[in-house]
Amino acid sequence: MESTIALEELIEENEKKASFSKSNLDKHESGEIRLSAISKASSENSFEIANNKVAKYKSMLAELQTDEGQEVSKKRKLIIAARRKRYFDSQSSRIKVGKEQDNDVKLAALRIIAELPTDVHFEDDKLFEIAIKSVELKLPELNELLDVLEKIKKEFSSLLKNCDKENIQEMATIDYLIPIIVLHFYILTTNIKENIEDLNEKMLLEFENKTRKVRKEIRFSGFPKYQDWWIRELWLSHQAYFALFKWKSIINKQCITLEQKKAWSIIFDRWVFIKKMLNDTGSLAYNYHYAFDTLLSKYGNLDEELDEKNISSMEHIIKEITEKEDFSKNFEFHNVVTPYLKFKHKKRASR
C-alpha cells in the first residue's frame, strides 16, 4: 500500500516537472520568452528526464497492481474517500469558526455550499476564491433584485390576464420595459431609504454623544404625486411641461447621493417615454397603463394625484409660477451650435 501511494505521488510530481519544462520550451518557440542556449538545453534535459521517470513509475505501478495490488488500491481509495467525506462534512463548521476570512466572505461561502449539487465539493481555498469574488460583485444583492424582478413580472402578467393584447401589438416592447422601469424605481427608493437610515443612525450617535443639540429624524414618505394631464398635454402645453419639470426637480432634491440623482435623471426619461406611449395609445392601453401605475405605487412609492380638488389647486399654482417665470433667459451653457452639431459637421466633411 505504501509503495502504491509513493509511486502515484512520484508520477504526479514528475508530470508537473515535465509540464513546466514543456511550457517554457513552447513559450521560447512562440517568442513569448527568450531562453539562453544553456537554459534551453537545461529545459530540454529536464523535460526528457521527467518524462522518462513518468514512464518508468507508471510501468512499476502497473506491475504492482496485480489482483492483490488492486485490492490494496481499493482500500486506499476508500480511506481517501472517508477522509474527504469527513473534511467536507465539517466544512461549514470549519468556515464559521475560522478567523482568516471576514464575516461577509464566510456567509458567501456558506451560501455557495448550500447551492452546490450534492455530488460537487470545493476545497476551502477554492471555495473562498469564489466567495470573495461573489462579495466583490455583490451577487447576493443581484440575486435579490432578480427575485424582485420576477415578482414584478408575475404581478404584471396577473394584472393583464383579462386584457386583449391584440389591439396593441405595435407596442411589442412594452411587456419587457414596464417591469424593468418598476424595478428601477424600487432600487432608487430602497437606496434612498437605506441612506436615510444611515443618516438617522449617525444623527442619533451624535445626539447621544452630545455633539448635536437637537435630534431631528429624517423620514421618507414617498415621492410627490404626479398628474396625468402633465403627460397627456406634454409637448402641447408649456404649463404641462413646466409642471413635469418642477416635479422632476423636487424628486431630485429627495435624492441624497450624486449616484441617486444621476439614476433619477435616467429613470425619469424612461418613465416619461412609457407614460407618453401609453397615453397616446388612449383607451386601448388603459389596462396596461393601470397595471404600470399599480406596480409603481407598490414597488416605487410613486402615485398619481386622484383628488380633483388637489389637481385643480396644483393647476392654479403652476399658472402662478409660469407667470412669474422669465422664459427669455437662456440656460447657463446655452449655445445654438451644440457639441453634437459640430461633430456632425466634421463627420460629414470627412466623407
DSSP per position, 61-86:
HHHH-SHHHHHHHHHHHHHHHHHHHH
In a domain, 94, yes or no: no
Task: Tell me the three cell numbers of residue 342.
Answer: 459640430
For cell 396596461, name the residue.
288
In the predicted model, residues of the chain with pLDDT beneath 70 are: 1-7, 63-79, 114-120, 126, 129-130, 133-143, 164-173, 207-208, 210-215
In a domain, 287, yes or no: yes
Q: Is 296 exposed, middle or buried (CB count within 10 Å of its CB: 0-12, 13-18, 19+)? A: buried
124 and 238 in one domain? no
129 and 170 in one domain? no
Please check whether residue 112 is in contact with residue 134, taking contact to mean a CB–CB distance below 8 angstroms. yes
In a domain, 276, yes or no: yes
In a domain, 75, yes or no: yes
**Residue 308 parent element (H or E):** helix 308-324
Cα–Cα distance, 323 to 326 (Å, whole number):
8
Q: How many CB atoms lie within 10 A of CB 50?
A: 20
In a domain, 66, yes or no: yes
240 and 103 in one domain? no
270 and 206 in one domain? yes
pLDDT of residue 293: 94
187 and 315 in one domain? yes
pLDDT of residue 156: 92
160 and 124 in one domain? no
210 and 130 in one domain? no
111 and 21 in one domain? no
pLDDT of residue 321: 80
216 and 190 in one domain? yes
313 and 267 in one domain? yes
Q: How many CB atoms lie within 10 A of CB 330?
A: 9
197 and 64 in one domain? no
Q: HSE of 117 in the Cβ direction (CA atoms, 13 Å)?
A: 2
Q: HSE of 330 in the Cβ direction (CA atoms, 13 Å)?
A: 5
| Spatial CA neighbour of 171 closest among 287, 331, 321 | 287
Q: Residue 340 belongs to what domain range?
A: 141-349
pLDDT of residue 167: 57
Please check whether residue 189 is in contact with residue 301, taking contact to mean a CB–CB distance below 8 angstroms. yes
The type of residue at 301 is N
pTM reported for the whole predicted model: 0.58
Domain count, the chain: 3
pLDDT of residue 1: 45
Q: How many CB atoms lie within 10 A of CB 3?
A: 12
pLDDT of residue 162: 73
162 and 118 in one domain? no
- The per-residue pLDDT for range 174-205, each reduced to its tens digit, is 777 899 899 989 989 988 988 888 888 777 77
The Cα diameter of the chain in Å comes to 102
Task: Tell me the three cell numbers of residue 339.
Answer: 457639441
In a domain, 344, yes or no: yes
Q: How many CB atoms lie within 10 A of CB 135?
A: 17
